[in-house]
Amino acid sequence: MAFRFVLLAAFSLCVHATFAQVTDRFAIIPKPAQLEAGTGQFTLDNATTITVPAGQPDLKAIADTLANKLNRTSGLGILVQTAPGSTTTGKTIQFLPTTDATLGNEGYRINVTEKRVTLESGTPRGFFYAVQTLYQLLPPSVMGIGHWARGIGKDKSAPSPLPPAPSPLPSALTLPVCRIQDRPRYPYRGMNLDVSRHFFSVEYIKRYLDLMALHKFNNFHWHLTDDQGWRIEIKKYPKLTEVGAQRRETIVGHYDDADPQVFDGKPYGGYYTQDDIREVVRYAATKYINIVPEIELPGHALAALASYPELGCSPIGLDGRPYQVATKWGVFEDVFCPTEKTFSFLEDVLTEVMSLFPGKYIHIGGDECPKAAWRKSAFCQQLIRQKGLKNEFGLQRYFVNRIDKFVTSKGRRIIGWDEILEGNGTSLRLSPNATVMSWRGTKYGLEAARKQHDVIMTPGQFCYLDHFQGDPATQPTGFGGSLPLSMVYSYNPTPTSLSPAEASHILGVQGNLWTEYIDTPDQVEYMLWPRAAALAEIAWSPLEQKKYEDFTRRLITHFDRLTALNVNFARTFFDAKPLARPTSDGKVVVMVSPSKESMVVTATVVRYTLDGSLPSGESPRYAQPLVLDKSATVRVATFSGTRPLSQLANVQAEYIVSKATGKSYTLLYAPTTGRPDRNFSLTDGTTGSMGGYEVAGVVSFVSDFGAVLDLGQSQSVNSVRVGFLKYTARNICLPKEVEIAVSEDGTTFTPVLTAKTNAAENGKRGIARLPFDFAPTTTRYVRIIARNVRQVPAGLRNPGKTAQLAVDEIEVF
């Protein structure tokens, strides 16, 4: 039997008294540059007015939106008045333009007294951000009425909060007396959304922009084309949406979940008409958000090639089949061919794109461009020679430069992923206008800055929000990798290694959400928030203001706002952290501690059950390590009083208790360096886990697996069970045969069982716990040998490749 450990996560923050110690009227995210708290408060009532100077229609629109929001929340009738001069009398929220250059283009000041609220800025954009701060000075429930709180596409694909306790509207809307002076650290504060892998409606894009605006992001990077779908209407090339916007089916689960891969058999499609695009662009402008459209080239082009095969280097793909919109994820070898026909096509497409998007930036992709099609193409090889290029990487530089020059000629600037820096050794240079988006770590961004290129930092280890934010066993399917909230917040886009001149080229930071495994609005939000809030603070707040503990304290109140907005935010950083170890007498000790983030909440406790039921506020409180002398199902959850902080999830991580637990053994064959044995990890009671592409907690072998287990004393045994990883997509197969032998002295062994296993078994990946039963015998030592199949069998993804064995926990009964 198994002892299972479950991390639970459910959250409801609507009972404000529960969090009295940390609920803060200045819980503003991102944190302002300067804030001076006073005493007292400004109370909004029916006598309150909002005043704006005459002849300022942009300010009037911002003030109208503020008034509508406050009135819907409070039931008041606050009016917006146009003041003839720069000052006014009476109880008012006053918009006061200033020429103070220290505020820059996006900065603002707020002065709250008991009788007046004054907002100052030199630009409408600055006033807009001042209002976003005002919203966060008001009670969180102010966010919960009207357009912002609409629920769009809600579903159960991602963990959702428990039903919140009723939260009445405040009897009065108040603002704390304070002074704030604020401006952003970086001019570019971006969020990306991939709509090619999975499509999201115009209405949801607007909600995405709403949440960006509240957190003072100012650039929306819209990933509109890729191998799996072309999502923007191009009038001159209608097949891009007639063909390229549709795929015949979609892979089920993770890319490596099953071997062979499984598909859903359902057509999938969607695209934005040009009218849709204009609508979103207009809406974004009201939020002071610029949209950066991305048209991928020269790689990630299958949707375009399926629509217009003549844009490839051959009439059909490298696999010998006609081009088709990709039905699974990954990088594909078929790419645009650098012919004049292709460049004419791309220039036409970009011309239409530039007519729709008024911003200065056009993203051209440039990443992950395989060179196989170009190497096989006689045309490409001739072009390399003709242009004096060094190789296919030089050809990529040529391709990017052609597009760069075209976009620049139209008065715009390209952004490209950091691969646009590749192709050295040629005379071709990127234009000074080219901006590099650094995703493969920080190295290439720093290199670009030193070459005087503007840079947007978005390294995967800090900014890729499709990575897991908690234990993969408790999370929806994700790409892989781990990116907890604390890791996001720790990032500094401008390291001290850059000189001031070089540092000036770091324009800002961006969070990316790739949607291979994210197909609903609920799951989008679950992956984004609160990690995107951490990125917002990185992008806006002064570096010296950043303190993670302070951020998490403010985040507690911010969760009330997100709850009011019906945002499906994650709560994984409230998960308790378990640690289990075996004892010498064959027991398992489970130690549990709450996360440091949860400790900022009043009355945080960990509660547990031993019968497999979900913990409640009445479950026993964890006070000391749990000592298990038999298998059990253990579940824990973090609570504040009787209210759960973490989300209730039924996915389990397994712990093992048997006669082998805590016992030493000798390996007969050396494990690989990639997955070595650590401190008798095959009998420590802890099983392996997997998420995305990663597998943890197993020991792998290229040769056979063999171990001699010392039970410590002679005793009766009649069964051995061994966990083997089945991951044939990565060439890890089950053994073809397992031999069990016993010995009293550890030298002379008597075979008790030889069993054939199905090494060619396919299907879903996982850890197969194979039982081997035999007649009862008394022994001290048990020898287990598993024979490797040597080569991946036919019928699997990689037949003929060198096979590995990967072993998990050993049990003896």
CB 316 within 8 A of CB 238: no
User: DSSP of 234-262, one letter per residue?
Assistant: -TT-THHHHTTTEES--B-SSTTSEES--
- Which residues, at least 6 apart from 332, have a Cβ–Cβ distance to it below 8 Å? 227, 299, 300, 302, 326, 370
CB 685 within 8 A of CB 655: yes
DSSP class of residue 613? P
- Give the Å distances, CA to CA, from 575 to 523, 543, 547, 593: 19, 28, 21, 9
| Distance, CA of 729 to CA of 727 (rounded, Å) | 5
Tokens of 799: 């037949």
Catalytic residue IDs: 368
Report helix, strand and coil shares of the chain as percent, to nearest 5.
Answer: 25, 30, 45
Please choose, from the candidates 547, 558, 560, the residue with its C-alpha nearest in 3D space to the C-alpha of residue 596.
Answer: 547
- Give the Å distances, CA to CA, from 747 to 284, 470, 709, 782: 75, 45, 12, 11
Tokens of 156: 């159960």
Beta bridge partners of 777: 717
Beta strands in 108-242 (DSSP E): 108-112, 116-121, 173-182, 188-194, 219-223, 225-226, 229-230
| Distance, CA of 87 to CA of 457 (rounded, Å) | 42
Positive/negative CA dihedral, 444, 450, 453, 456: positive
CB 36 within 8 A of CB 178: yes
What's the per-residue H, E or C state across 49-97?
Answer: EEEEECCCHHHHHHHHHHHHHHHHHHCCCCEEEEECCCCCCCCEEEEEE
Compute the CA torsion angle 10, 15, 17, 18 (nearest 10 deg). Answer: -10
- Give the Å distances, CA to CA, from 520 to 561, 571, 576: 22, 18, 28
The amino acid that residue 343 corresponds to is F
User: DSSP of 665-686, one letter per residue?
Assistant: EEESSPPPSSS---SSGGGSSB
| Distance, CA of 369 to CA of 359 (rounded, Å) | 26
Strands 188-194 and 2-7: unpaired
Q: How many CB atoms lie within 10 A of CB 496?
A: 7
| Residue whose pair of structure tokens reads 């390209």 in the numeric block | 414
- Which residues, at least 6 apart from 556, have a Cβ–Cβ distance to it below 8 Å? 13, 19, 22, 23, 27, 600, 601
Q: Rounded to 5 degrees, what angle do the CA atoms 35, 41, 42 make? A: 105
| Distance, CA of 395 to CA of 381 (rounded, Å) | 9
User: DSSP of 260-310, one letter per residue?
Assistant: S--B----EE--B-HHHHHHHHHHHHHTT-EEEEEEEESSS-HHHHHH-GG
Would you call 784 helix, strand, or coil by DSSP? strand
